[in-house]
Amino acid sequence: MRDNYNPSIGQSSPENADYRLPKNVKPTHYDLHLEPDLENGSFGGSVVIHFDVLQDTKFILLNSDEIKILTTVLVQSSGKSTKIESVHYHELQQTIMIPLPESIPAGSKIRIRQTFKGRLNSSKKMSGFNRSRYIGRDGKPKWFGSTQGQPTGIRQIFPCADEPGLKATFSSALIVDQGLTALSNMDIASEEKISSDKKKVVFNKTPLMSTYLVAFVVGELNYIESNDYRVPVRIYATPDRDIKQGAFCVDVGARAMISHEKTFGSPYPLPKLDMVAVPGHAGAMENWGCVIYGEQYLVSDESDASAKDNLSKAYVVTHELAHQWFGNIVTPSWWDSIWLNESFADWATYNAATHIWPEWEPWSEFVAGHPNGALNAYQSALALDSNRGSHPIEVPVNTPSQISQIFDSITYAKGCTILRMISELLGVEVFIEGVRLHLKRHAFGNATTNDLWDSLGTVSGQDVQKIISIWTQKVGYPVLSITEDEKSKTIEILQHRFLQSGKVPPEADRVLYPVYLKTKTQQGIDQKSQLSSREDTFPVDLEFYKLNAGQTGLYRVSYPLSRWKNLGQQLYSSGLLSPNDRVGLISDLRAVATAGQTEIHTSHLFAFLSHFKNEGNYFVWRQILVCLQDICGAWLFEDSSTLAALKRFQADLMSKVLGDLGQDLWSFKPGESYKEQSFKAVLFGNAAGYEIVKLTASYLFDQFMDGDTKAVNPNIRKAVFRIVLSDPKLSDNDDNYNKLLHVFRTTSSLGTRSDVIKALGHATCPTLVQKTLDFANSTEVRTTTDRNAIFSALSGHQNGIDALWKYLTGNWDEIVGERGGIMGGRFVGFCVQGFTREGQLREVEAFLKRQKGNGVEKFEKFLEQSLDAVRAKVGWVERDRKEVRDWLRANGYYEDDS
């Protein structure tokens, strides 16, 4: 604790502390001046905060973290200035208390003027004012400055009322070196030379906005501009990046803004839109008018990237620009409603993509998972919300740590799934009209979830809150268990909460969800039937039926075994089951088998998958491969003969689709669609058990290393690197590994660097695993995203999992001090979630118990989720181990039976 701690601020225990600011004053405007010293890693500044006094008050409480306050002056409306001799810090709550010399009556207007200084953080921290390295115009290393305010980073830059509901206007100025470009939310009002080497850049006043959206960027920058939108859309990048490679994303940006503005029915209110490629930045941040991205999202060569990566870039850009309305014009009142930002940006992304790039089939992209990478939206929502460590979409949060941990698949993917569900129910056009009304009602202000339901209800004439609020307020979703009655031609549907790790205790199974069944039969889709009780009976054509047509509902379906067998025979009958339907069946059957609460076992899943040998759809194959990946991940620590049998089963399942493609599998022709390219890429990347693919990967790798970098198409470059490195014969001094490291250090291609990063962790030799870990934690790996990509790959094989666990336990104090928030939580998850055995689980639980009170709370939610995922795998393997062996042996996949 620094200076004089005042106990009136709150308790020192995080469990008892109130982290919210009092409502005695309200900020209305900030005059902010900052002077970053990029070379020395520090900054100084001043701020004048204008307040309306709402209650008689003797103090003002502001958020401040890691800032040293130098001076504080109170200025009253009369003009009287009073110096405040000291302020009281509360480090736990990240606040300062400013005592006032006298009680200020309600209705007054006052100003607080403060000077301060702080430090520039490493870009890996991703919070506050950060600095990172780039190569300047003179060919020498330079420092780049950028800010990250969300969720609680702005308080590390200047003292403020750092809550999303406390909107104000901002007038800002930066003092920077003459040769640098300075950017902020608004356009430049004036630029003045103040010394031989310094200039002052003054920005125009912002509209009302939340503090976390305040942004500053300082560095040598070039830009490319699109004038296709009614205000300039620019991409900025440092001189060591080819700004022409931003052409794809600046076009995406302009098209996305046009689409969003048309959809939301309200104009983008700022005079410019800048998108900045920031060295060392992970992900992207939607700062109003000054959106920042990792370089790979804006200025990586479109022709040097896979179709999947180009789609990902387009989606990331479109998502961040949707925030210019949802999040920036209308902002959640508090972080418990942050889903209104993130899930709406996701929904708007898929909606915009449907109109701009319909050939991408965006909602099918949403529904299907993706192997060798994060699950896509719908599948990630189903996965995380079946975890005992899940949380409601609307979840109470108080501390900065709690806030950081809710930026997960529930906030993004489940929220988007719910929005898709309600848009289908109301009709998309009606839904959009409700969204427009919501934005109009709350423009430049704040809103809650109920405010959205009210707007949708006004437009639709339905009680939307009654229909949908339970889905956002309660954790989890149901599994619908089906019992068929041949005589009455009916099905009885029983709903219970679904948990991946097995049995649901009664206290966790009290919620009854209103489920729109969307039953598909040969006659069409029943859009009206709803299950609103624990169980009910419905008439249905038992010749063929499937619930959740198109996979628009957030629930699982558990059919009787006989129905699963029938559905396996009907997969391709007269177009009854769309690709999304087939994706849903695979996903549901895998989940039901894993949970182990029915007669369904993994052998039935194998038998069902065997019907897909003739499958020709890209999205369906993605889900098949996700399913196989899940099985292999759960069985990872089993005997080698069983693992080999699983690989043979996968190779057999893929044999026809690979045989049909032949050499076209790794040959890409001009004009091939996104789906064609991506289909071949996902098959190639998961066909290492197919000998010709291994030989081809080795041949292409050698050509690449001999200097013919065009020999490996970007769609399969990562897979080629991975297949070569994952060869178990790789030795600890293997030349291939060292060659890839050399490529990483010398190439100018962001796409190639990214592919190397994602491949290195697949080397399984213990010495190379340690080398990879050391590399991941070196200064060569600049972003948290890249580090986590390495850790993710390491978590996919035995030696990597063991090494990650050893690293975590041996460096706990350092990890707790360095990592926080969602990126740090993901890292800790990678160190835990690969385990599959009971003994491993007990070891993890014992270690975490010993660390209670020593930083565990920073990752509490992530650890809880990772441990439940491990428990699910432990139970699954224990239950089905023998049966899996028996099925694989009976079907000829064990080598000793051939």
Catalytic residue list? 320
Task: Determine contact, residues 678/371, Cβ cutoff 8 Å.
Answer: no
Give the position of tokens 């982290």: 19
Give the position of tokens 């590994």: 737
Q: Which helix (H) or strand (E) holds 215?
A: none
Q: Which of 171, 202, 186 is nearest to 287 (CA)?
A: 186
DSSP state at residue 209: B
Q: For 341-391, give the DSSP string.
A: HHHHHHHHHHHHHHHH-GGG-HHHHHHS--TTS---HHHHHHHHTTSTT--
Task: Determine contact, residues 775/803, Cβ cutoff 8 Å.
Answer: no
DSSP bridge pairs for 74: 82, 112
Q: Which of 219, 249, 251, 252 is nearest to 237 (CA)?
A: 219
Burial class (CB in 10 A: 0-12, 13-18, 19+), 786: buried
Give the C-alpha separation, 152 to 404, whole Å. 8
Task: Determine contact, residues 546/567, Cβ cutoff 8 Å.
Answer: yes
Give the C-alpha separation, 523 to 249, whole Å. 44
Q: For 121-183, give the DSSP string.
A: EETTT-SEEEEEEEE-TTSSEEEEEEEE-TTTTGGGTS-B---TT--BEEEEEEEEETT-EEE
Give the C-alpha separation, 738 to 121, whole Å. 32
Give the position of tokens 């889905």: 471
Q: Which of 359, 865, 871, 809 is nearest to 618 (CA)?
A: 359
DSSP bridge pairs for 148: 128
Omega cis (within 30) before 151: yes
Report the alpha-carbon angle 207-332-347, nearest 5: 100
Give the C-alpha separation, 667 to 675, whole Å. 15
CA dihedral 333, 336, 342, 348 (to 10 degrees): -60
Give the C-alpha separation, 711 to 603, whole Å. 41
DSSP state at residue 120: P
> Parallel, antiparallel, or unpaired for β 284-285 and 290-294?
antiparallel
Give the C-alpha separation, 143 to 37, whole Å. 10
Give the C-alpha separation, 389 to 395, whole Å. 13
Name the token pair of 542: 């038992």
Give the C-alpha separation, 867 to 879, whole Å. 18
> Parallel, antiparallel, or unpaired for β 128-135 and 121-122?
parallel
Q: How many helices (H) and strands (E) does the chain have?
A: 29, 32
Give the C-alpha separation, 728 to 762, whole Å. 10
Q: Which of 475, 519, 515 is nearest to 498 (CA)?
A: 475
Q: For 682-696, give the DSSP string.
A: HHHHT-TTSHHHHHH
Give the C-alpha separation, 874 to 504, whole Å. 17
User: Three-state SS for 241?
Assistant: coil
DSSP bridge pairs for 27: 51
